Every structure is written in structure tokens, then in C-alpha cells.
Amino acid sequence: MNNSVENKIIVITGASSGMGEAAARHLASMGATVVLGARRIDRIEKLVSEIKENGGEALALATDVTNKDDVKNLVDTAINTYGRIDVLINNAGVMPLSMFESIKVDEWDQMIDVNIKGVLYGIAAALPHMIEQKAGHIINTASVAAHLIFPASSVYSATKFAVRALTDGLRQEVTSHNIRTTLISPGAVNTELLDHISDKDVQSANQEYVGEVGIPASSYADMVAFAIGQPENVDVNEIIFRPTAQAL
């Protein structure tokens, strides 16, 4: 069977851990060149070394997605190094869940900056090049929380609802440029996201639940590879996946 991922130039934000790291490993193993952005440069440099030791091609750049210049530099470096960008995976995200009554305004701001503006900065950096190429694929990571709300998820859900809206709006606008768009909404996946919840009661409840039903980050990597690997005239617009045991 033809491997449609092979030889693609794929930029991934939030690649230092969890789903971004898993996607980088998997796509590189399929023959893609991966350009990795994250704040923790030591982690992505180590990942690049591992990928190259296994015969793959990868590049790492320190990237804070709340800084539009950082994101532009990430995309521009991919293009200057490899000549094009085939796929952008806007994966970087934060999830400091809390109840409204806790008034964690700084955390609300952080989620807006990373989860919404970070995605927009990625689109702004990649879209002009993809329009010029008359080809490309933008993948945005949302969450099942983009489709439902539960106590302590309100602001996080709002940011992911926003990613849903902008992704479908983007889809409608770029079809004439032969650009594909995919929204991927994971359910309970075992990552570091829960480690950064400052409300210990909320953190404990979510860690207990995800600990019971959570699936590995490689499940996200499989979904990304599926969407990218479709024929160029097939646009997988949305994927929602959960552990089989997850009812929510």
C-alpha cells in the first residue's frame, strides 16, 4: 500500500511530550521529515537525536506558541531548510482546569494565549506558503471538551470550542487553494496535561479518572497519520476519539 506520509515535511508544535512527541516519532518512522517546536528545547533536541539514530530526519527549534515571531520562525525555518511545508500540526495546548469560583484569571489568560492564539499564529505562519504551493494540510488539536462541558472545564472547553469554529471556518475558505484541514479531538489520553492543574482537588479527580480509562499518546499519532495518509483529494475534516471505556 502506498505510504502517503513518506517524504512529507511536517511541522509540529508542542512536540516535547505527550501527543506531539508521539506524533513526531510515528510520522518520522513512516518516512516524514519532522520539524519540532516546543519551549523545552532540551527535550526536542533529544527527540531529534533519537529520530536520526533510527534513520529519520528531524529538526528542533525552541518555540513558544504565544510568541507569533517564534511560530513564524519555526515555519520559515522548515521552508528554508526543506523547501516547503506539507503539514502543520497545531498541537501545543494547556489544560489547567478549575472551577469558576477559584477565579484563576492568569490560567484563563494562559489557555486563551496558548490554545487559541497559538493556533492562530500557526495558521498565520503556514497559510501564505501553502496558498503559494497550492497544497498543504493544517491539523488542529482540540479535545472532546470542544464538544461538551463539565465542571471545571468551562474556560478550557471555551478555548477548544473556539478551535473547532476557526478550523471549520478555515476549511471553508481554503478549499479553493487545495489545502486540507483536520480537527482532532482526543478524549482521555495519558499525557502531562493533568500535571499542570493547580487545583489539587480537580487534579486528583481527573488523574484518577484518566488513570482508569486513559489510552496512550500513540493513539493520537495514529489518528494524525490516518488523516495525513489519505489521498490528496480526500479531506478528513474531523476526528473524535476516546477510550472505549470513556462515557463522557
CA distance 71 to 218: 25
Q: Active-site positions?
A: 156
Provide φ and ψ at 180, rounded to 5°: -95, 155
CA distance 74 to 72: 5
E-state strands within 116-193: 136-141, 179-186
Check if the beta carbon of residue 89 is closer than 8 Å to that of residue 65.
no
- Residue 45 has a CB neighbour count (10 Å cut-off) of 18
Which residue matches cell numbers 513518506?
Answer: 6
Check if the beta carbon of residue 183 is closer than 8 Å to that of residue 167.
yes
CA distance 178 to 181: 10
End-to-end CA distance of the chain: 36
CA distance 62 to 48: 13
Helix, strand, coil abundance in the chain, percent, nearest 5: 50, 15, 30
